[in-house]
Amino acid sequence: MPSRRIPQTDEGRNAALTAAKTKYNSMPVGSKILIQATADLLIALQALFNSKMALSAAALFNQGDATKALYVLKNRLKMFISHFFQNIFMGIARGIFPNAAKAFYMLDMKSNALPKLDSEEQLLTWGDRIITGDANRTAAGGADMAMPTIAEFTTVYNDFVTANTAHSTLKDAYDNAQKAVADLREEADALILRIWNEVETWYSNEDIASRRRYAREWGVVYENLPDEYSMEGKITDMDNNPVEGATIALSGTGISTTSNDAGNYYMPVVAAGNYTVEVSKTGYNPQSIPNVQISEGVVSILNVQLMAVSGTLSVNVYAEALPLADATVRILQTGEEQHTGPEGQVVFTPLEAGNYDVQVSAPGKQPQTKPATVTSGHTASLVFDLLPE
């Protein structure tokens, strides 16, 4: 039997209030379908809720653009930090720098392992150590770094700091906008229920089909629930494109379903309660959402965004230990090809996580091929030293 479906999302609440206000405005003056107090509250709250939703949407859009920009700069800074330390280690091996140079950057004196560079905090910490440490090292008479130069590194670091600060500011703005909407939810839910009850009471003398038809004009939603407990929603990527074939599973229950070509899914559930929902698809970072409430007689709504899996591959090409310009670097599996610049370097990004074969060739040099493994959110590095033919 059809049951009323109370909105479970802010978009649903806004749609319900907007539909009711639109219908009320179309009614003759003096209509008694809604009592005056309800109508007055509807007019005021719908305008307020709609404006807060618009501000939240704008803040999310701005944060999304900043997140994409920060992601690119984060990978670039990670690459520069990795290359800087790799060149320090190579310089030590070739006798250009003493092993004691590591101390200027607070590196482990007994290891050539790169530091962890997974978080913004780690990138900021090591970036600052490079800038401060290199100034102290050269002031003590150390040779200048060439690849990258400290000036090049500082530019990349400052670009990341600026983007990270902007992203943090926009994230705070979005959080505040979301809170402004959240502060209205309880009042909106109570008003929606109040409107729907008054509308259904007004049309109570009509037959069931007519009563529901009239009530739908006021935004009342009816749905045939195939199961007493259920959940539905949409799976999208970070650009809000639908993700087809994603697996949505209730952890520990064996219950799962998949999203269709529009990214939508529907999942019948055997019992009400709190669940952890696992969402996954090859090529995307999986998500685990705890404490999802499934309630009796209500279709719970859960929309999820998945981030595509990608990484970065950096390739440095040398000949007789010197950077080699205009060498051809080709990824055999994808056919993507680049030519090295004066520093003998190319960067492939974004690149789907996986295993690749990288071939390097140059006139008068013996070509070389090496394997590379690219992982999500990380920079893989390869170094080639080509021999004469």
User: What local confidence, expressed as pLDDT, does residue 260 receive?
Assistant: 87
Strand partners, 208: none
List strands edge to edge, sheet with 368-374: 337-339, 328-331, 354-361, 368-374
86, 96, 148, 352: CA torsion to nearest 10? -20
Q: Is the pLDDT of residue 227 over 60?
A: no
- Segment 73-80 shows an average pLDDT of 94
- As a whole number of angstroms, the distance between CA 318 and CA 205 comes to 87
Residue 239 to residue 307: CA distance in whole angstroms: 9
pLDDT digits (tens, 9 = 90+) for 259-309: 988 888 888 776 778 999 999 988 788 999 999 988 776 778 899 998 877
* 31 pLDDT above the threshold of 50: yes
What is the per-residue pLDDT for 297? 65
More confident residue, 240 or 363: 363
Beta strands in 282-364 (DSSP E): 287-294, 299-301, 304-306, 311-319, 322-323, 328-331, 337-339, 345-351, 354-361
Cis omega (within 30 of 0) for bond into 371: no
Give the tens place of pLDDT for each residue, 232-245: 889 998 778 888 99
Check residue 2 and give its pLDDT.
57
Angle between helices 150-202 and 208-216 (to 10 degrees): 140
Q: pLDDT at position 280, please?
A: 93
Does the pLDDT at position 79 exceed 60?
yes
**Statement: residue 60 has pLDDT above 80:** yes
- Provide mean pLDDT across the span 122-147: 93
pLDDT given for residue 1 in this prediction: 43
- pLDDT of 226 over the 60 cut: no
pLDDT for the residue 224:
56
Q: Can you tell me the distance from the alpha carbon of 157 to that of 151, in angstroms, rounded to the nearest whole number?
A: 10
Could you report the per-residue pLDDT of 365-385, keeping only the tens digit for each?
999 999 999 887 678 899 999
Which of 147, 160, 155, 154 has the alpha carbon at shortest distance from 345?
147
pLDDT at 228: 54
As given in the structure block, the two tokens for residue 46 are 């719908």
What is the rounded average pLDDT for all residues in the chain?
90
Indicate whether 320 pLDDT > 90: no
CA separation for the pair 341, 346 (Å, rounded): 7
81 half-sphere exposure, CB direction, 13 A CA radius: 31
User: What pLDDT does 225 receive?
Assistant: 53
Q: How far apart are CA 38 and CA 27, in angstroms?
A: 15
- Position 130 scores a pLDDT of 96
Q: How far apart are the first and last CA of the chain?
A: 80
Instruction: Determine the longest span between alpha carbons in the chain, in angstroms.
Output: 95
pLDDT tens digits for range 89-99 = 999 999 899 99
Q: Which domains does the chain show, CATH number per domain?
A: 1-224 (no CATH), 225-308 (2.60.40.1120), 311-386 (2.60.40.1120)
Strand 229-237 with 299-301, pairing: parallel
